[in-house]
Amino acid sequence: MQIPLITSLIHYFKVVYSYTGRKLYILLLLFLFGGLSESIGISMLLPILSIDRGVSGQGQYAKTIYNFLESIGTNLSLFLLIILFLIAFLFKGAFVFLQKTLASYIRCSLIKDIRIDLCNKYKGMKYSYYTNTSIGYLNNIITTETNRGVAALNRYIVVIGSLIFILIYIFFAAVINYKLTFVVVFLSLILFALMRSISRLARKLSLLVSDTNAQVQSLLIQTIYSFKYLKATDSFTHIFKRLFREINRNFIYQFKSNMLTFIPSSIIEPISILFISGIVLYYVGFRAKSIAEILVLVIFFYKAFSYVFRFQSDWQKFNASLGGLEVMGKANQILNNNVEKVGIRQINAFNKAIELRKVNFSYGSKQVFFDVNLAIQKNKSIGIVGESGAGKTTLFDIITGLLTPQSGKICIDGIDYLELELSSLRSIIGYVTQEPVIFNDTISNNISFWECDSQEDICKKRIKDAAILANCDRFINESEMGYETIIGDKGVKLAGGQRQRIAIARELFKEPEIMIFDEATSSLDTESEQLIHQSINSLKGVRTIVIIAHRLSTVKNCDYIYVLKEGMVMEKGTFDELCRDIDSLFYSMYQKQNLLSVKNVI
């Protein structure tokens, strides 16, 4: 069932008000004052055009203006009437300027505020929601749909402004000739009703435009991220087939939506001129009415017609961009429902241990952790090993609070994670992954993570110290511009081992108490691996280290090792203890990886 126009206007007024607040009322007052000023100015044309006929020869409306001016002691003259006419339009111009300025401020500030709000909501959303949501969708909301949503809000404000002007013009026209005004309003309503079906179709197309925008964004991001592989294997054809299909769908929906918005604007002038010509012909040609009175009425009707069709056109455009507003609203609702639950207790230091007690975790109906018990002591190095799919990375997600176990308990220094303000926990953790996180900026900014100005001496020293500790100072100095070298998206200008060492330097720069290495050396050459081992070994006894790996050489020097298999801790102990048990899973992995001489390798 189609919602009536009035109901829609009221509903979206509440929506717009929720974004703009009281500024909306100020804007509407400026519309009102601008419309009144213009209408008063137009009304002054009636006594100006018929001043030679004297007061007795005027219509009732002109007589009212004359009587008002005489009552305030003003001598009636053409000069005075023209001055009042000009003053009215000067006021109108001032109100229009203020209205457009405020509207522009609202529009720009809304885009800024909504984007900042969405960024903060992205920061606070559950990790589990992030993993199940398309990056293209999240990117599309904050880039494309925010603009479309704010455009819809702006269109709605223009719609309400048009409605205010229409009511003012009709009021002044009715004062001059209410019968004729009634006929014109009736005909306008019929025309408006005939065009309602266009608005319904425009709204449907708008939602389709939003959907295809998200699909295009998602495929574009995947294409750009996978550029090297696609280029090297000449595989663009397959992904472009999908991408171009979505681009074509987006083009079709966008074109149809634009075509619908052109319909009202293209018929405004012909219909307005037809109505006005009929009015002039009837009243002047057949009824012998005063041309001055009809001229002023014609101006009011022309203005009213223009705003009626502008109202329809802007309502059409509002519906055409409504998809962005609805996607924005839906996204806000979903993000609000997927806010990460956190406690209020702050943790500023790590003093004793992180403990997992009988932890169970499931992805949906698939359980991946079974009664896991594990302890990470302060300033100890802990190895977590197991084959692919054993649950090693899930363990990291639980340790950092990204995932919450369905049962069991995880504590740091005896404090339950559920009581923690998790950002305080994560601030003491450094994390290095198999695929290092690198930004398209200078090496120095990648290390400092923009925490300080890399041009300042104190900041430079901290950056250099971290780079030396991560064994990357040498190759940085050999780079074209040293620490100020731009390294490209995802560090494309660097080798894999260099990217990894810069990622380690960044974590060392922030001086975390706990360092987690998640398969940090699994895809590196021997030299790079040895350099990173040196960096890790230099932290022993100074930092708490957790090394997640499937290559046992990586955990050789760890103080304690946990062996995972299918989500369970199967074995635990030191490297030597586990190697001595020839029936153990660890020993089996040891043999498979040909590490019988590993003691002499590292």
Residue-wise pLDDT tens digits, 142-178? 888 888 888 888 888 888 888 888 888 888 878 777 7
Q: Count the helix, strand and coil residues of the chain and give each as a percent rounded to the nearest 5.
A: 65, 10, 20
pLDDT of residue 602: 43
Residue 69, phi then psi, degrees to nearest 5: -65, -40
Are 471 and 403 in the same domain?
Answer: no
Domain final position from 511, 529, 553: 511
* Whether the predicted model's global pTM rises above the 0.85 cut: no
pLDDT of residue 3: 47
Report yes or no: 296 and 46 within 8 Å, Cβ to Cβ. Answer: yes
Are 324 and 363 in the same domain?
Answer: no
Are 333 and 364 in the same domain?
Answer: no
Domain final position from 310, 337, 364: 337
Which H or E element spans position 410?
Answer: strand 407-412
C-alpha to C-alpha distance for 476 and 444, rounded to whole angstroms: 10
Are 273 and 259 in the same domain?
Answer: yes
What CATH number did the domain enclosing 571 receive? Answer: 3.40.50.300
C-alpha to C-alpha distance for 337 and 57, rounded to whole angstroms: 71
Are 226 and 83 in the same domain?
Answer: yes
Report yes or no: 297 and 173 within 8 Å, Cβ to Cβ. Answer: yes
Convert the pLDDT of each residue in 498-538 to its tens digit: 888 888 888 888 888 888 888 766 666 666 677 777 777 77
pLDDT of residue 596: 46
HSE at residue 526, side-chain half, CA atoms within 13 A, is 2
Number of domains in the chain: 3
Are 137 and 75 in the same domain?
Answer: yes
Which structural domain range is residue 281 located in? Answer: 5-337
Residue 404, phi then psi, degrees to nearest 5: -110, 125
pLDDT of residue 192: 67
C-alpha to C-alpha distance for 104 and 247, rounded to whole angstroms: 31
pLDDT of residue 60: 59
Are 577 and 506 in the same domain?
Answer: no
Regions of the chain where pLDDT drops below 70: 1-5, 49-76, 191-197, 199, 225-235, 264-265, 267-269, 272, 283-285, 287-293, 520-528, 594-602
Report yes or no: 443 and 476 within 8 Å, Cβ to Cβ. Answer: yes
pLDDT of residue 64: 66
pLDDT of residue 58: 54
Are 460 and 551 in the same domain?
Answer: no
Are 404 and 449 in the same domain?
Answer: no
What CATH number did the domain enclosing 164 receive? Answer: 1.20.1560.10
Are 101 and 170 in the same domain?
Answer: yes
Angle at 99 between CA 97 and CA 103, to 5 degrees: 120
C-beta contacts of 260-264 below 8 A and 24+ residues apart: 260/198, 260/201, 260/202, 260/205, 260/316, 260/320, 261/202, 261/313, 261/316, 261/317, 261/320, 263/195, 263/198, 263/316, 264/195, 264/198, 264/309, 264/312, 264/313, 264/316
Handedness of CA 432, 433, 435, 439 (dihedral sign): negative
Are 128 and 179 in the same domain?
Answer: yes
pLDDT of residue 189: 72
pLDDT of residue 476: 86
Domain final position from 337, 364, 382: 337
Cα 361 to the chain's mean position, in Å?
31
Are 61 and 182 in the same domain?
Answer: yes
